[in-house]
Structure 1
Amino acid sequence: MKTSWRTASLAASAAAVLALTTACGQDTPPPASSQNVGATAEAGDYGEIGSGTAGAGAGGQASAAPSDAAGELNVSANAELGKVVTDSLGLTLYRFDKDTAEPPASTCDGDCAETWPPVPADDATAGEGIDESLLGEVTRSDGSKQLTVGGWPAYRYAKDVNAGDAKGQGVGGTWYALTPEGKKAQAADRPGLSTRQDPDLGEIVVDGDGRTVYRFMKDEAWPKPVSACTGACLEKWPAVSPVDFEDTDGIRKKGYMTFTRPDGADQQTIDCWPIYTFAGDKTPGDTNGQGVGGTWYAVRPDGKPVGASGK
């Protein structure tokens, strides 16, 4: 693991010049900035138009009605967020920044409560890893009792369907999964490019937001990188902007360089191959771009495409 993931980079103009004068495959890559292309869609406070940024579904169907009791609360390990509180069905519990914990008060009513069903306090018990003294209740405006964790009113998210889903994380910049201490779960700081072990694809490259990185088989790497993805293609497959090599972990250094695209933007490569993310990947861990059109494939740390023949 690198000791400095956020090392300051040289100016982008200098990186572009170096990229143009560096032969593909050179061991020493040019410095670059550590920002990746690809914006996350914004969502309102209630989450009607967004689904958050973190999901690590465990697979089982676990949809709960708003009136479902929490049952035994447990601590679950989320791949992106660490330890979070889940109910007896494995559904993630959340807190709302517009509520208060001292004293406990819930401000999510009406339409908000349909999207974020309050967790009833009745029958909620502390399972392994849960401090019973941190559990409590608050009386809502309709007179019902809502569970609190560390003083914070607890909710489920209507778009979480499977045990382990955490699609409500970060919605509206106000909704966060609950930690066992009642705090906001936060994604761990990660390098601009790193690797993760996918259960189906093996070790693959991901960007700073945990999104899968892909290669386009119509691109070229030698004698210099050339991207065949232009225009509307870039809307579906955003090019990964330059990432300083010091801001990576597990990536092969040889052939790690940037190049200037026809539109003037700089793009990162691995083993001299241009790399991209996929707009169809909605949460970290998604690999919906794998094999699309028989030309798009996830990338290994050495730049090789996963599951593709040839290049």
Structure 2
Amino acid sequence: MIRARAAVLAAALAVGAAAMTGCSPSGTAAKPQPADSATASSPVNYVPGTAQENNAPAGTGDFADGPANSPAAMKWVQLSAGAAGVLNPVVHNAAGFTLYRFDKDTTKPSKSNCNDACATTWPPVLVQPGSRIFLDGVSRADIGVVKRDDGALQITIGGWPVYRFSKDTAPGQANGQGVGGTWFAVTPEGGKAGQSPQGTDTNTQLDYQNGTAKQHDAPPNTGDMYNGPRNSPEAMKWVQLTAGSAGGLSPIVHDGAGFTLYRFDKDTTKPSKSNCNDACATTWPPILVQPGSRIFVDGVPTSEIGIVDRADGTRQVTIGGWPVYRFSKDTAAGQTNGEGVGGTWFAVSPHGGKVLRPTEGTGATSSAAPSAGASASASSPASAASSPASAPAGTPSAAAPSSPAASPVALGNGVVTLDSGLNFTEPDASENIAGPGCKNTGRGDLALSLDLSGGPVKIWTGRDCTGTSAVVTSSIPDLSKIGFDKKIASIRFGD
């Protein structure tokens, strides 16, 4: 499953499935560049956060009057995850207009087949060299650009060129959904958006609603906005789970008050269990609900949300099986002071993965044992080949059968982009793969560089997570530095 430069095999990227998506052209270099600096391999600037947070000029970008191809309109685009009516998650722009994909386009190679009159009804989302793309609840690994027949640059999500619909006349509308059986709102990973279950769930006894608490007129000083203990009845009336960005991280999940939500590596997902109690739960207040509580889902898949009973009998919200928390030292919306605390607390992604900051260095650490959360499955044999005894110091060591707890690094989820060029230049092809569990690559002889969103992950030279391995904690512009150039046959994500 390989795509040409700036294109990708069509697939809706779901947790637990490997899928081709638009490569992050600029990548996250081993020594990260400023988030808003373009590179030779990226004609545009990728910036975490919203246009407003980054002081985009008024009357430009998504708020510009006039055609989509005007210089003012192409100065910037914001891609935000959210909900639109019965659809969740979808991607919308800064003005709240839903973005769409077209089944008659292609992703291998990525190409728009909507031109002339079609492009009047469905205006393509355009940028120009030097434009800024603001990412709010959307991963940079899924975003790219493709040249249209008229030479303009169009944004892609998961390899799919994206558009607005001329008959959406107000924010939040999704009148283009299903038009002609070929047009669909696009998800943050490039898939077709679908209806999200709403109403009372008989298993959890919770009321799920698409959108935000404000859109549903939630009573003031209740739920996430309540100024008091999180276990009070007023605080547990409702919880909002919104995919967004904070502190340079995207995508993360925040609540209705804008506070970042976190996960704890010492908790478990199989079964879901919180191990943060007593004093820990004072520092990290759990997100609690009770029967009859409402959960507003805004860019977070309802299928990822669950409930777990805590030791004190209260019920805590989970995302991707991970119990979620606030951090008491986040004193204002948008802060991420809990990120990386103790090496065990991390912002949580909309699919339950840990969200990591870019780190210095090669982004890889060698490991001789499976990481915590990477237990063997039917498709990942316990045995593994050994590295040559003469391997130089610093090269990744062979994986040997061992208890998952033997590794100091807990694997996470996210997206790995395997790039056929050095420094994420993608001359021939690239491949995106997402967790959880062990995933085989489409071609073991492809990658010269690796872009990581989320993680950590473990790369292997053999299929089904066998052979020589290394734990990767950030993007690697040159895999030969760790001896893995054109040798990645499989990748182990967290469970």
TM-score (norm 1): 0.41
Higher strand share: 2
TM-score (norm 2): 0.26
With a CA cutoff of 8 Å and minimum separation of 6, indicate the structure with the bigger relative contact order. 1
